Amino acid sequence: MEQPNRRKFLIAAGAGAGAAAVGVAAAKAGLTGPDAPSGTAATLPAGAGPLVAYVEDARSGRVSVLTGEAETVVHDPDLVARLSRAAKGRTA
């Protein structure tokens, strides 16, 4: 059996990761939730593709963002809080 790798995982994630990219980008830009400016649409960077945001420990505010074979680590407790609420089906 072939060993899994990050690229194959991202390819398999496809549409779900694309939807997550839009949600994460909008949340990161502050364009979601009750304080969002009305009539403002989130814009993605040129060439934005599928990505996965992984929160290992919500208390640390550390988010690993995986795209292609690259990993970027950001520290954003507010983003982690919004993602945690979204995962539990709450928006506020």
Instruction: Read off the pLDDT of residues 31-79 as tens digits, 9 standing for 90 and up.
Output: 455 555 455 556 777 777 888 999 988 899 999 999 888 999 999 999 9
Task: Please spell the DSSP secondary structure of 23-80, one letter per residue.
Answer: HHHHHHTT-SSTTPPTTPPP-PPTT----EEE-S-GGGTEEEEEETTEEEEEE-HHHH
Of residues 9 and 82, more confidence is placed in 82
The predicted pLDDT at position 15 comes to: 40
CA angle 22, 28, 29 (to 5 degrees): 90
| Nearest by Cα to 51 from 31, 27, 22 | 22
Of residues 27 and 6, more confidence is placed in 6
Domain ranges of the chain: 6-33+50-87
CA angle 21, 24, 26 (to 5 degrees): 105
